[in-house]
């Protein structure tokens, strides 16, 4: 089941994100985040224009996807949003990422957005495959901009035009 996140979901959202940090090459953060460090970001997503969707299975949050502004405050970019998504490692490979992304595409259309982007580390092949599955195309490549203790990695921007 997919629903909009509530304040009670913050612990699960942060725990799932920290799994991604520990796995490497899924986010550019390298140290786990605390709930307190994440609270401001989470609260910003209580705005209906930029929701966090959670996937609930076995009576717990096992994945989430956030819709966030791209380059906040720049009015000319108000119709493009960034999607970020993470899954509990025990629930990967079950179609949850696909379900969350499909749900978010529909929600973004309803919210009046014209473009979606996902900014992905180029070593995250699973996320790149998910983007391609939903007809996202590579819009940009920033080579070797991330450094994970001596291992360089680029970022790719995948985009989808909604209108």
Q: How confident is the model at residue 2 (pLDDT cuts 50, 70, 90)?
A: very high
Contact 65, 84 (CB under 8 A): yes
pTM above 0.85, yes or no: yes
Q: Which fold has domain 2-117?
A: Aminopeptidase (3.40.630)
Both tokens of 37, joined, read 């460090």
Contact 134, 105 (CB under 8 A): yes
Q: Where are the beta strands (DSSP E) in 70-150?
A: 80-87, 115-121, 137-148
Mean pLDDT of 6-27: 93
pLDDT at 73: 92
Give the residue extent of every domain in the chain: 2-117
Copy the structure tokens of residue 90.
């025990």
Closest CA to 87 of 103, 98, 71, 74: 98
Q: Which of 22-36, 40-54, 59-73, 95-109 has the lowest mean pLDDT?
A: 22-36
Average pLDDT over residues 66-92: 96
């Amino acid at each position: 089941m997919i629903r909009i996140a509530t304040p009670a979901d913050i612990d699960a959202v942060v725990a799932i994100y920290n799994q991604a940090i520990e796995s490497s090459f899924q986010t550019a953060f390298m140290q786990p985040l605390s709930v307190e460090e994440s609270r401001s970001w989470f609260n910003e997503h209580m705005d209906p224009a930029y929701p966090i969707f959670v996937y609930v299975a076995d009576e717990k949050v096992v994945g989430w996807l956030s819709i966030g502004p791209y380059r906040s405050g720049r009015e000319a970019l108000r119709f493009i949003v960034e999607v970020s998504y993470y899954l509990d490692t025990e629930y990967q490979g079950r179609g949850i990422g696909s379900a969350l992304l499909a749900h978010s595409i529909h929600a973004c259309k309803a919210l009046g957005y014209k473009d979606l982007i996902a900014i992905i580390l180029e070593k995250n092949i699973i996320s790149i495959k998910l983007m391609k599955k939903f007809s996202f195309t590579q819009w940009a490549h920033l080579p070797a901009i991330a450094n994970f203790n001596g291992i360089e990695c680029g970022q790719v921007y995948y985009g989808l035009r909604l209108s």
